[in-house]
């Protein structure tokens, strides 16, 4: 297993930003008449202007935060050039391409219109259209108007304020109270290295890790800061990042089984479920697997007994897991079941 770290605590993690974009103005048309030695009174030859540049967003897998937009948040495409004599058309303005991380959602900040969702590498999205070019006077000549003095000016490009929201793309999302072992688990199954310590809130930003079962099979797991009681009212850090679990196929609910007191374990589980339901019914209804962690601190038979008693009180009729993220006990079986679940879901979506 192994392998890749996407988001680390060394990098400033920003998942929201506002930017202002100005598409280019179209170039003005030209009023001109052909004047040469042999043709002193030629017809109109004013050229059209060039179109203004568009603004695109480009999804880039090498980015994992919106922090760059805190330092630069105004982007402009190039204006189109004006038309010239001799029916010369002005040059169109160059487009502006803005790179964003995969998983970025784009919304018009004024109208709240959803403009798109960047979900794969090199995806392009047009977010502001450049202005249309102006027409030169050669476009207005006719049998009744041989010397037109009309032209049109180029149109202004679109100006928008965009709201960008980064929602991480992961197959698996981990839930649990602080110090339930989520960071230890992601270190165990991947090469991601979130901070691990014996005090709450060691995880301050989301962390993604890729779990590779073999050369062709892998899944992405997300670790977010622990959710505590009152998170739905803004207490703690977990609520800030629960949105990053919205795209996950499975939620792994890690529970510290070493507490021994069944009522305390049951209470901790219900705290997470209550906060999850208050935050989002959609998130609450996602497939959720119960994983009892830290069995290395107990006799295995004792851990089995506690897990059975807790799940009976929860009326939990689905499968649950006993693992030790610290020494990898039971982890391989859990990962195999996750991989099988993901593969079955992908196959059902293709039917």
Binding-site members for GTP are 176-183, 201-205, 223-226, 293-296, 324-326
Give the span between the Cα atoms of 148 and 32, in whole angstroms: 9
Angle at 61 between CA 182 and CA 10, to 5 degrees: 50
CA 210 to chain centre: 17
Q: Which tokens sit at 93?
A: 């303005």
Other CB atoms within 10 Å distance of the CB of residue 64: 21
Give the span between the Cα atoms of 191 and 168, in whole angstroms: 18
- Per the annotation, binding residues for Mg(2+) are 183, 203
Residue carrying the six token digits 């007191």: 261
Closest CA to 42 of 85, 84, 83: 85
Q: Which tokens sit at 135?
A: 């027409």
53: exposed, middle or buried (C-beta count within 10 Å: 0-12, 13-18, 19+)?
A: buried
Task: Yes or no: say if 227 and 270 are a contact pair by the CB < 8 Å rule.
Answer: no
Q: Which tokens sit at 258?
A: 């070493």
Strands 124-128 and 207-212: unpaired
Length of the chain: 351
- Per the annotation, binding residues are 176-183, 201-205, 223-226, 293-296, 324-326
Residue carrying the six token digits 């805190």: 70
- Phi then psi for residue 239, to 5 deg, are -60, -35
Q: Provide Rg for the chain, Cα atoms.
A: 29
Give the span between the Cα atoms of 316 and 350, in whole angstroms: 31
- Interacting residues of 137 by C-beta distance below 8 A, sequence separation 6+: 29, 30, 31, 32, 44, 46, 148, 149, 150, 151
């Amino acid at each position: 297993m192994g392998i890749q770290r996407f988001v680390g605590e060394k990098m400033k993690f920003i998942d929201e930003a506002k930017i202002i974009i100005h598409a280019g103005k179209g170039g003005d048309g030209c009023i001109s008449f052909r004047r040469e030695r042999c043709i002193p009174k030629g017809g109109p030859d004013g050229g059209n202007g060039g179109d203004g540049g568009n603004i695109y967003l480009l999804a880039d897998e090498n980015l994992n935060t919106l922090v760059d937009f805190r330092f630069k948040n105004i982007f402009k495409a190039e204006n189109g050039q004006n038309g010239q004599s001799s029916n010369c058309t002005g040059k169109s303005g160059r487009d502006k391409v803005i790179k964003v991380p995969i998983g970025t959602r784009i919304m018009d900040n004024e109208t709240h219109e959803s403009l798109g969702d960047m979900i794969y590498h090199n995806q392009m999205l047009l977010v502001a259209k450049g202005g249309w070019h102006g027409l030169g006077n050669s476009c207005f000549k006719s049998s009744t108007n041989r010397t037109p003095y009309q032209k049109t000016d180029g149109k202004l490009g679109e100006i928008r304020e965009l709201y960008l929201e980064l929602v991480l793309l992961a197959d698996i999302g981990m839930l649990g109270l602080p110090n339930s072992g989520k960071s230890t688990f992601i270190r165990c199954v991947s090469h991601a290295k979130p901070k691990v310590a014996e005090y709450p809130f060691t995880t301050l930003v989301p962390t993604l890790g890729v779990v590779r079962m073999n050369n062709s099979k892998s899944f992405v797991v997300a670790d977010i800061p622990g959710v505590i009681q009152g998170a739905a009212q803004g207490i703690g850090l977990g609520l800030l990042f629960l949105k990053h679990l919205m795209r996950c196929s499975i939620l792994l609910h890690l529970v510290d089984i070493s507490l021994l007191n069944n009522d305390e374990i049951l209470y901790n589980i219900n705290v997470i479920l209550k906060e999850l339901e208050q935050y989002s019914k959609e998130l609450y209804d996602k497939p959720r697997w119960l994983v009892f962690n830290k069995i290395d601190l107990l006799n295995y038979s004792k851990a089995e007994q506690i897990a059975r008693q807790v799940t009976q009180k929860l009326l939990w009729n689905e499968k649950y897991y006993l693992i030790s993220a610290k020494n990898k006990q039971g982890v391989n079986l859990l990962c195999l079941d996750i991989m099988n679940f993901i593969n079955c879901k992908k196959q059902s979506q293709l039917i």
